[in-house]
Structures are given as C-alpha cells and as structure tokens.
C-alpha cells in the first residue's frame, strides 16, 4: 500500500464532505418531493416526476454542463442572483456539492417514495381523524414509517456521491486540494504513467467507505424493526 500524501487525504476527506453535505442538503427537498408525488394529486405531476428523475438517465457530463451554464458568471442564476450576493460557486467544493446533489437526488426520492407507498393509507386517515393536521401527520406518522426509505435513500445517495465524476469535473474542475475528490484523483493517477498504485489504493479506500456505508445502513434498518 503506497503512502498517501496530504493531497490524497484531502481528496478522501473532500469526497466524504461533499457527499455528506449533498445528502443532508437534499434530504428535506427529497422528502418533500417524495411526499408530494405520493400523496398529492395535481396537474403536472407527471412533469414533476420527469424532472426529478431526469438526472438518472442524463449523462452526468450533460448535468454538469447545464449547471455550469446556469450557475456560471453569465448564467441565469449566476448573474442574477449569485453575483449580486457575492457568491462564487463554480470551481469550488460547493459546486461539487450541487453537482452531487443533483445527480443523486432521484435515487433519494425514489427510495423515500417506495417507503411512503408501503404505508397503509388507513394509518394516515386514522391520524387525520384523530386530530392531527397534515403537517402533524407527516411528521408523526409518515416520517417515522418511511424512515427505512429515508435511510436507504440517504445511503444510496451518499454512495452515489462518492462516485460522482462527470458532473463534478465540469462544474467544479479537478483542482487538487480544492475540488479534487477520490474519483477525480483516481482519474488523474490513472492518466499519469506512475500513478497505477496510487489509483488502486484510492480504489481500495472507495470500496472500504462504500462497505462501511452499506453496513451502517443495514444496522440502522435492523434496529428499526421493532421487537416487542
């Protein structure tokens, strides 16, 4: 096993940081989207479904490029909102968070939705007739009963975030110590003549992190099966 330098440690920590922040930021939005798509009837539901799931089928590079166009200095959001506020996103770790969030969002929403769809509608109706308003019902019935879906979706999104490459490299670049995550570092080592060992070592790190995430997910899921 080769010795990691501070650049590799930074890449590992940055990968973890980007994935964690992207997952945590996406959770309230993902839960809300899943709730709306599961429980609400409205016109244009199909369009929302399409938009939410689009990143799943679009090439990540395309997503990265769209983000670059929208958030860049001449983009709609970049020019109208971010620049006046003095916020610079492109080629920072925050851009990597946004790219990771967009790419992983459909996985999060799908898992939560599956969790919500398994909830007996009678429980929701019972809650309403027992005096709980819709938000109360969401927080005290739907959220606890879809928690497995939330955890599964978060784990999936986190793992997907660790592997995010295409969108990140376009929107955040590949700047060692600043925006270089594990996949970007592996790409760089794999492209250089003497980088094989380091690329492999980072692959091993990726596998270890993924296994830990899956075990943690399994542990939480088992704990949630209530034993009387």
Partner 1 sequence: MELRVAATKKFCSFDLNVDFTVSQDRIGIFGPSGSGKSTLVNLIAGLQQPDDGIIRLNNETLFDRNIDTPPDRRRIGIIFQHPHLFPHLNVKNNLLFGFKRCTPENRRIDFDSLVEVLQIAPLLERGVNNLSGGEKQRVAIGRAVLSNPRLLLMDEPLSALDDTLRFQIIHHLKTVCATFSIPYLFISHSMLEMRLMADEVLAMADGRVVDQTTPENLARSRMGVSPVGYINLLRLANPRRSDGLYAYRWGTGELLISAGNDQPETLFELSSKDIILFKQHPEAISARNLFRCTVAGTFASANRVGIELACGKDRLVAEVVKQAADELGIVAGSELYAAIKASAFRRIG
**Secondary structure (3-state) at 120:** coil
> Residue 144 Cβ, how far from partner 1 at the closest point, in Å?
5
Please say which residue, 84 or 131, places its beta carbon nearer to partner 1.
131
Spatial neighbors of 21 by CB under 8 A, at least 6 apart, are 97
> Residue 130 Cβ, how far from partner 1 at the closest point, in Å?
3
> Residue 160 Cβ, how far from partner 1 at the closest point, in Å?
28
Residues that bind partner 1 (CB under 8 A): 120, 122-123, 125-134, 136, 140-141, 144-145, 226-228
- Report d(CA 146, CA 112) in Å as an integer: 7
Please say which residue, 143 or 178, places its beta carbon nearer to partner 1.
143
- Report d(CA 40, CA 198) in Å as an integer: 50
Given a contact cutoff of 8 angstroms between Cβ atoms, the answer to whether 196 and 58 are in contact is: no
Given a contact cutoff of 8 angstroms between Cβ atoms, the answer to whether 184 and 198 are in contact is: no
Please say which residue, 88 or 128, places its beta carbon nearer to partner 1.
128
- Report d(CA 204, CA 81) in Å as an integer: 41
**Nearest residue to 162 (alpha-carbon basis) of 207, 198, 114, 192:** 207
Please say which residue, 194 or 228, places its beta carbon nearer to partner 1.
228
> Residue 124 Cβ, how far from partner 1 at the closest point, in Å?
9
> Residue 218 Cβ, how far from partner 1 at the closest point, in Å?
20
Neighbouring C-beta atoms of residue 109, cutoff 10 Å: 28
- Report d(CA 224, CA 4) in Å as an integer: 38
> Residue 114 Cβ, how far from partner 1 at the closest point, in Å?
17
- Report d(CA 158, CA 163) in Å as an integer: 9
Please say which residue, 85 or 227, places its beta carbon nearer to partner 1.
227
Q: Is 70 exposed, middle or buried (0-12, 13-18, 19+ CB in 10 A)?
A: middle
Reading the block at residue 34, the tokens are: 């899943």
> Residue 108 Cβ, how far from partner 1 at the closest point, in Å?
22
Please say which residue, 130 or 214, places its beta carbon nearer to partner 1.
130
- Report d(CA 210, CA 162) in Å as an integer: 8
Please say which residue, 133 or 177, places its beta carbon nearer to partner 1.
133
């Amino acid at each position: 096993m080769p010795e990691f330098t501070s650049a590799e440690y930074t890449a590992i920590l940055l990968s973890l940081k980007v994935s964690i922040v992207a997952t945590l930021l996406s959770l309230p939005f993902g839960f809300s989207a899943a709730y709306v798509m599961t429980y609400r009837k409205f016109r244009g539901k199909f369009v929302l479904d399409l938009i939410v799931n689009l990143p799943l089928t679009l090439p990540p590079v395309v997503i990265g490029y769209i983000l670059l166009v929208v958030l860049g200095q001449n983009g709609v959001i970049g020019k109208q909102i971010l620049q006046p506020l003095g916020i610079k996103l492109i080629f920072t770790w925050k851009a990597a968070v946004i790219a990771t969030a967009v790419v992983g969002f459909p996985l999060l929403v799908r898992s939560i939705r599956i969790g919500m769809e398994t909830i007996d509608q009678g429980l929701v109706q019972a809650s309403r007739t027992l005096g709980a308003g819709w938000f109360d019902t969401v927080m005290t019935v739907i959220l606890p009963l879809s928690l497995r879906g939330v955890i599964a979706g978060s784990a999936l999104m986190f793992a997907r975030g660790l592997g995010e490459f295409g969108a990140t490299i376009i929107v955040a670049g590949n700047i060692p110590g600043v925006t270089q995550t594990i996949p970007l570092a592996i790409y760089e080592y794999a492209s250089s003549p003497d980088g094989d060992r380091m690329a492999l070592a980072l692959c091993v790190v990726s596998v270890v992190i993924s296994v830990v995430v899956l075990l943690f997910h399994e542990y939480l899921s088992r704990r949630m099966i209530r034993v009387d």
